[in-house]
Amino acid sequence: MNSNLISIVIPIYNEQENIKELYNSLSNTLSEQNYEIIFVNDGSTDDSYSIVQEISEKDSKVKLLSFTRNFGHEAATTAGIEYAKGNAIIVMDGDLQDPPELIPDMIKLWQSGYEVVYAEREKREGETILKKITSSLFYKFLDLVSETHIPKNTGDFRLMDRKVVEDYKKLKEKNRLFRGLVSWVGYNQTSIKFKRHKRFAGKTKYNYFKLFRLALDSVTSFSIKPLFFITMVGIFISLLSFVLGLAFVLIKLLLRFPVPGWTSLVVLILLLNGFQIFLLGIVGEYIARMFIEVKNRPLYLIKDIIDSEPKENQ
C-alpha cells in the first residue's frame, strides 16, 4: 500500500460514451497526484470493457475489474473499494455528474484531518421536479426512521481514509447502501458542496422502480422501526376492536335493538384486510433480506482483471 496513492473507484454499466471524457478529466485534475483509476465493469453490454482496456494499455494507472454478469451498482462499488491500494479512496459515478474538479478540495480536507469527505448536492441539473420532490421526501423519511444519520442530498461521491475503508470491508451484508454503511462506520466526517450537472451522455440506469427498491433497501438495512410500527398498529387495532365490540354488545343488551351499518362494516373489513396485507408486505421485506443473507453467496464474481501493476498483499 502506498500512503501517497489516491485510488479512484468508478463503477460502470454501459457508459461507453462517457469513459474517455471522464478519464481525460481525471488525468488533468490529478496530474500532480500519485493516483490509480479503477473501473469496475458491472456486466456492460456495450463497448465499455474494450474502451477501458484500450486506455489501460496506454496508461498503467488505469485498472479494470470485469464481472461475470451484472451484479448491481453496490456490488461494483464494493469490489472497487476492496481492490483499491491507496491510502485515500474516492468513489464516484461514471457519468460525469460527479465533477472530478472537486477532488483536489476533497484531498485537502482529508489532509487536514477529516477521514470521510462526502459531496453534498446544492443544485441538481437535469432532474425532473417529481424526481427532486421524491428524493427530498425519501431523505426526510429515512432520517426519521433510521438509527444511523445519512446526510441528505448525497450520493456515492466521497473520499474515505484507509482506516474507514478497512472497517467498511468488515461489513458483509448482501443488501448494501454504500452511503449508509459509510455513515454507520463513523469517523470524522465533513461535507463539500457542489452543483450536480446533467449526465454528459447516455441515459440514467435508475428508473423509478429501481429507486423504489433502493429506498426499501435503505430503510430495511438501517432501521427496525417499521417492525415496531407494525406492533404498535396491532396493539391499537386490538384495543379499538375490543372497545367497539364491547360498545356494540352493551347497545344490543341495554337498548334492545341491533346496531345498523352492514355496509360500513364491510368497508371497514376490506380496509383492515388491505392494511394487514400491507403490514405483512413490510414483514416480508425483512424476511426476504434474511433469506438472501443466510444463503451467503458471494456479493460478486470477477471474470477478468486488467492491471499492469499486480496488487500487493495489504
Task: Tell me if 274 is assigned to some domain.
Answer: no
Q: Is the distance from CB of 38 to CB of 9 less than 8 angstroms?
A: yes
Q: Are 307 and 53 in contact (CB under 8 A)?
A: no
- Cell (9 digits) for 247: 360498545
Amino acid at 13: Y
Q: Which residue has the higher pLDDT, 148 or 50?
A: 50
pLDDT confidence of residue 313: 42
| Structural domain includes residue 118 | yes
CATH assignment of the domain containing 191: 3.90.550.10
Q: Give the span between the Cα atoms of 56 and 37, in whole angstroms.
A: 10
**Number of domains making up the chain:** 1
In a domain, 249, yes or no: no
- Tell whether the model's pLDDT for residue 40 goes beyond 90: yes
Q: Is residue 125 part of a domain?
A: yes
Distances (CA, A) of 227 to 47, 112, 146, 180, 283: 45, 42, 12, 20, 7
User: Looking at the domain assignment, is residue 43 inside a domain?
Assistant: yes
The answer to whether position 203 is within a domain reads: yes
Predicted pLDDT at 127: 59
State how far the Cα of 28 lies from the Cα of 26, in Å rounded to an integer. Answer: 5
How does pLDDT run across 267-306, given as a tens digit for each residue? Answer: 667 667 767 777 777 777 777 777 777 777 787 888 888 8
DSSP state of 313: P
pLDDT tens digits along 180-224: 788 888 888 888 887 776 654 545 555 556 666 666 666 666 666
Structural domain for 176, as ranges? 2-130+152-207+298-306
Over its C-alpha atoms, the chain yields an Rg (Å, rounded) of 25
Strands (E), the chain: 2-12, 34-41, 62-67, 86-91, 116-124, 154-161, 189-196, 302-306
Cα–Cα distance for residue pair 39/64, rounded to 1 Å? 5
d(CA 13, CA 67): 11
CB 307 within 8 A of CB 64: yes
DSSP string, 175-233: S--HHHHHHHH-SSEEEEEEEEPPPSSS--S--HHHHHHHHHHHHHHH--HHHHHHHHH
Query: Does 241 fall in a domain?
Result: no
